[in-house]
Every structure is written in C-alpha cells, then in structure tokens.
Amino acid sequence: MGFSRNGRNLLIAPSILSADFLRLGEEVKSAEEAGADLFHLDMMDGHFVPNLTFGPPVVAGLRKITTLPLEAHLMVLHPEIYLQELADAGIDRVTVHVEATTHLHFVLARIGALGMKAGVALSPATPVGTVVDILDMIDLVLVMTVNPGFGGQSFIPHSIKKIAAMRTLLDEAGARHIRLEVDGGIKAGNLARVADSGADTFVMGSAIFGDRPCSTVFGEIRAVLAPPG
C-alpha cells in the first residue's frame, strides 16, 4: 500500500486463516487487488496450540496464484521439520515462536541456509528481551497481541506497551531494519494507535476477510494510516 508513518514504511499482511477456504483463490486475489503487501500464513500443528490448520501443500498452491511475498507463521513444535518443505513450496519468510523450540539459534540458521528470511514470534507473556541474542539472524519480530491459536480474538490492551518496548529495543540495538509485526485483533479502530506505538507490519484476518468487500476495508485502512493533509 506504500504508506509511511513516523518515518517507517507500513505493510498490511492479510491472514488467510480468516479467509473462506472454499473460495481461497478468489479471496487472495481480492486482497491483493485491494492493496495487500504480503500474505500471512498461520500454520498450526494441534500441539503447540490446540488448533490445526494447513501445511506446505496449501502454501504451494498459494504460490501459484500470487506473486506477493508469503510468510509462514509456525505455531508448531519442532519447527525445523517443516523448513525444507516450506522452502520447496516457495515461502519467502518463516517466523518461529521463541517458546516452541529449545534450539532457536539452530532453527534460525537453518531457515537462512534454505534461502528464506527468518522471523521470531513472541506470545503475550514472553518478554521482549528474549530476542536480544539473535537480532543478527532475523529480519522480523512478531509481537502477538492475542494468545496464539485461533483467529478472531480481541486485542490485548497491554500489548501497546510491549510493542513500544520492542520498538525501543530494536532502535537502541541499531536494528531498525528488523520489521516489527503485530498479530491479533488488529482492526481499523486500533490500527493508528498500534502504528504509533512502533509497529510497521500489521497482520489482519477477520478485519479483512469478512462480509464486506476487501476494497472497502482497505479504503478504511488508507483513511486511518494516511489521512488527508
């Protein structure tokens, strides 16, 4: 969408978890035409989180219908076992949870070795300082603003302070190139406040894929993030 706010380029990442899977191709095309910057793919294994979603075959199918970047958000235990298949399916970036592996450095190194960009995700109770020792291995930090596992949850209000703290950590570490993504309960009504707290990439699911046309929703997003004047 090409927005800038507070000196940062802002990106909108529709989450296909909220799309109509019987019309997934149409939903993806509609969001792309409306102004999506990338697509966020929530992959869940029924163990790290109670929900179960989809795997690499769906990713490969999406790669055939869009040229936009695809990021896989792995809410799974043992994320390393999925990495080769995701690389083969055409994923651009893989985000793994700090809480899901005891060998985070190894997993991030493997993602890079397979030619994909790496991100780390933090659940609501995980402190921002857990990323300090791997900043040189990632290009994205994902702050979860709901508990991972299900779409359609409400934004956790305390997340605003956590986003701001992560922004400060990245800036003070000289890591402004690392994108700060937020995921969970993001809607037009709280988008500006979240952006002003320091986030620059916004995962939006039910707010985009619903009863209204994507073009209408993206119009509201434009009005919020880039008001006239």
Sheet holding 201-204, edge to edge: 3-5, 8-14, 201-204, 179-183, 140-144, 117-122, 93-97, 70-75, 39-44
* DSSP type of residue 155: P
Exactly one of 20, 37, 133, 183 is catalytic; name it: 183
CB atoms within 10 A of CB 74: 27
Annotated catalytic, 92? no
Is 186:144 a contact under the CB 8 Å cutoff? no
183 is an active site residue = yes
- DSSP 8-state symbol, 79: G
User: Could you tell me which residues come within 8 angstroms of residue 136 by beta carbon, excluding any fewer than 6 positions away?
Assistant: none
E strand residue ranges, 52-210 = 70-75, 93-97, 117-122, 140-144, 179-183, 201-204
Among residues 37, 42, 45, 200, the one annotated as catalytic is 42
Residues assigned a catalytic role:
42, 183
